[in-house]
Amino acid sequence: MEALHLAPFDVAALRADFPLLSQEVNGHPLAYLDSTATAQKPAAVLAAMDQYYRTLNANVHRGIYQISEAATAAYEGARRTVGRFIGARSPKEVIWTRNTTEAINLVAQSWGRSQLQPGDRILLTVMEHHSNLVPWQMVAAQTGAQLDFLPIDGAGRLVLDDLASVLTERTRLVAFTHMSNVLGTINPVRELVAAAKQVGATVLIDAAQSVPHLPLDVYDLGCDFLAFSGHKMCGPTGIGVLWGRRELLEAMPPFLGGGDMIRRVGLYESSWNDLPWKFEAGTPAIAEAIGLAAAVEYLQSVGLDAIHQREQQLTELALAQLADIPGLTLFGPPAAERGGLVSLCVAGVHAHDVAAFLDSFGIAVRAGHHCAHPLHDLLGVPATVRASFYLYTTEEEIERLAHALAQVRAVLALD
């Protein structure tokens, strides 16, 4: 196999920013290849959250004292930072949630329950994460709406040949993942959005896997809602984002009730706060929002274009090194059409056993159905092994992965 030469990228300098990556596992340097599940956190994010807890730890919005007002300024400043990162026109369009899952549930239960009627259609794809499937199953059962699905071809690309016939005047919502968490497929967002708009459908994009890796602008994409999580983009867990068009958010009823989302409360009725706080009941994830803003600033300092280019090169390298390993099946499209991950099966060995074997060499990967049961049913396998890459992944780690996978069947296969 001819060696692939990757463009210059100072991985060593970047890795020094991530404390966790310096440890050993089972006597080997840790090769963390599970960033699709959750990314590691740079020191800048840890420091930002630590500073909040050490110097500004007070509740936001209602404290009439100095550190509370400073905490509020930092918290709302984080909202503005994240909004600019995705091209929002106003911070009022940025709703804090716990994660992508909660953001999609918010749209399903607020917009969906108030807008959908019996006979309305919801168009999804067969590659969706459960987070962008189960909420729509639930709201369909609640409203009488029906689900339709776009299929995929053998390479894991969406099949759009019949898109015009699937999209009808009854299609009220089109919801799809920007990037598959199993196949890595980067879907044709603009084509899908344009087709949806021709029939007047509302569009939600699950961007959990794309926002950490690709530069994007919500208005350029043309969608109505976009959801993503902080922990997949070098930020903390427990913080996510729903972006929505302001006119839609203004018209939607609250998702949760309680403190901070109200204007006034009486014993028998209440009135709601302005955007974005109408959707943010209770004490928010203040430190986490501040940490997410620090993560955004860190990623911007590296450059999303550079990160995406690097990941595609790493994926090309991985696919090339894994392609000739006997008994190994790879899933998904070519490197140029996917994000930084590879999913695979090893003949005669369960995915969990493969992952445990790799862990013995200090290589951390994901094994299972990756919250995508229907997709695995279509692939005809109960589980896959997924190795995913990020800005701190090295070529040497991919070579270690390939070397270890070449040994799996000799050690563990039953045939």
Q: Which of 157, 133, 154 is nearest to 372 (CA)?
A: 133
Distance CA 132, CA 205 (A): 9
| Selection from 202, 206, 201, 204 nearest residue 177 by Cα | 206
What's the half-sphere exposure (Cβ side, CA atoms, 13 Å) at 74? 27
Q: What are residue 77's phi and psi, to 5 degrees?
A: -65, -35
Q: Which residues make Cβ contacts (< 8 Å) with residue 301, sequence separation at least 6?
A: none
Decide: 187 and 176 in contact? Cβ < 8 Å: yes
Residue whose token pair is 């998702």: 255
**Residue 202 tokens, joined:** 């509302």
Say which of 223, 234, 345, 371 is annotated catalytic.
Answer: 371
Residue 167 · residue 195 · CB < 8 Å: yes
Euclidean distance between CA atoms 190 and 146, whole angstroms: 24
The residues facing 17 across adjacent strands are none
Instruction: Write the single-letter amino acid at 260.
Output: D
In 10 A of CB 10, how many CB atoms? 9
**What is the C-alpha to C-alpha distance for residues 215 and 201, in angstroms, rounded to an integer?**
25
- 371 part of the active site: yes
Q: Looking at the annotation, which residues are catalytic? A: 371
